[in-house]
């Protein structure tokens, strides 16, 4: 595979935790290439920024249409699985944002993005994107690529004078509490809390809960061996009340049944090859 010169030391991908100043807002930075022509990605809660360093991809729509992705784009949370076809030799760098992270870095409520890719330059002032692309193009080491993206995100970071309305980090336990209870703990009305939550997360509380539970189950399945026992254990440990409920969410957010996913996850033709992560990589996405 022909890669960007700075990726000669990267086999498939490298997942890097951001520098300290970005850690509250950016979950991880990923760089590398695609091992398969087609990629099948699940629904997700986290906004992302993607820059293709070489090559590119098209979105494969269910109606048969193909839409080419911009060289640099952002997406908000996505409630449906997606299928993509990548060109040979495609490589990229991306940033996955924590809840509230995109709002803090760009000053734009995540719910205004939606699930479809938005060209990065449409969110920036004229001339802001070219220096980023130039620095990425001139990078000769992978750490230079990461430094370029981190510097860009720190440059666009919203300062204290323009900080958005506060919303604390809501861990898994707090996310399961009723909205009225969460609102009261912040001295907000339920309606105020719901608007603020949507601004920071890009999805209503109920959808974030469902996707968080499914993401936990997916992480467990990616570490497990095929079999009914592993499916039942993943559903139980992720907090599903019964297997049918788990199956429905899995089909909606992954586009496959749990059993079929377990059988085909190492099959490059199924588009799941890009998901194969070790425990440390998984923690970088779910932690």
For the stretch 83-126, pLDDT in tens is 999 998 889 999 999 989 999 899 899 999 888 899 999 999 88
| Tokens describing residue 61 | 């729509």
Q: How many residues does the chain have?
A: 287
Number of neighbours of residue 219 by Cβ within 10 angstroms: 20
Q: Hey, what are 113's tokens?
A: 């993005």
pLDDT score of 279: 67
- pLDDT, residue 21, reads 93
pLDDT of residue 82: 92
Determine the pLDDT at residue 1. Answer: 44
Residue with tokens 């425990």: 279
CA distance 85 to 237: 33
- 160 vs 27, 57, 165, 227, 255, CA distance in Å? 21, 37, 11, 51, 41
Output DSSP code: residue 78.
Answer: B
Q: Where in the chain does DSSP place strands (E)? A: 13-16, 26-33, 38-41, 48-54, 57-60, 66-68, 72-75, 82-86, 91-97, 118-119
Q: Which pLDDT belongs to residue 286?
A: 65
Q: What is the pLDDT of residue 265?
A: 82
pTM of the model: 0.89
As a dihedral over the C-alpha atoms of residue 217, residue 39, residue 22, residue 146, rounded to 10 degrees, the angle is 140
The reported pLDDT for the residue numbered 115 is 84
Query: What does the pLDDT read at residue 175?
Result: 84
User: Which residues of the chain carry a pLDDT beneath 50?
Assistant: 1
Q: What is the pLDDT of residue 51?
A: 97
Decide if 179 contacts 196 (C-beta within 8 A): no
**pLDDT of 68:** 96
For residue 32, the model assigns a pLDDT of: 87
Write the CA distances from 170 to 60, 97, 197, 210, integer angstroms.
34, 15, 10, 14
The distance of Cα 70 from the centroid of its chain, to the nearest Å, equals 17
């Amino acid at each position: 595979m022909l890669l960007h010169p700075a990726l000669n030391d990267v086999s498939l991908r490298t997942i890097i935790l951001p520098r300290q100043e970005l850690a509250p807002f950016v979950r991880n930075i990923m760089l590398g290439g695609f091992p398969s022509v087609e990629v099948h990605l699940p629904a997700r809660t986290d906004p992302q920024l993607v820059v293709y360093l070489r090559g590119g991809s098209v979105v494969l729509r269910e109606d048969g249409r193909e839409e080419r992705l911009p060289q640099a784009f952002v997406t908000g949370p996505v409630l449906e699985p997606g299928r993509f076809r990548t060109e040979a030799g495609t490589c990229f760098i991306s940033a996955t944002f924590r809840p509230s992270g995109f709002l803090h870095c760009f000053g734009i409520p995540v719910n205004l993005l939606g699930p479809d890719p938005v060209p990065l330059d449409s969110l920036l002032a004229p001339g802001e994107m070219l220096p980023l692309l130039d620095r990425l193009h001139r990078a000769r080491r992978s750490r230079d690529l990461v430094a370029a993206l981190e510097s860009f995100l720190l440059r666009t970071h919203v300062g204290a004078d323009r900080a958005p309305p506060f919303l604390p980090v809501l861990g898994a336990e707090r996310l399961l509490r009723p909205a009225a209870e969460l609102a009261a703990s912040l001295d907000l009305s339920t309606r105020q809390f719901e608007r603020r939550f949507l601004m920071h997360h890009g999805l209503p509380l109920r959808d974030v809960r469902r996707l968080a539970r499914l993401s936990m189950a997916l992480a467990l399945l990616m570490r497990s061996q095929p079999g009914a026992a592993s499916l039942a254990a993943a559903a139980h440990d992720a907090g599903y009340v019964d297997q049918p409920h788990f199956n429905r969410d899995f089909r909606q957010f992954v586009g496959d049944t749990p059993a079929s996913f377990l059988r085909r996850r190492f099959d490059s033709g199924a588009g799941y090859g890009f998901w194969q992560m070790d425990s440390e990589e998984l923690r970088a996405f779910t932690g």
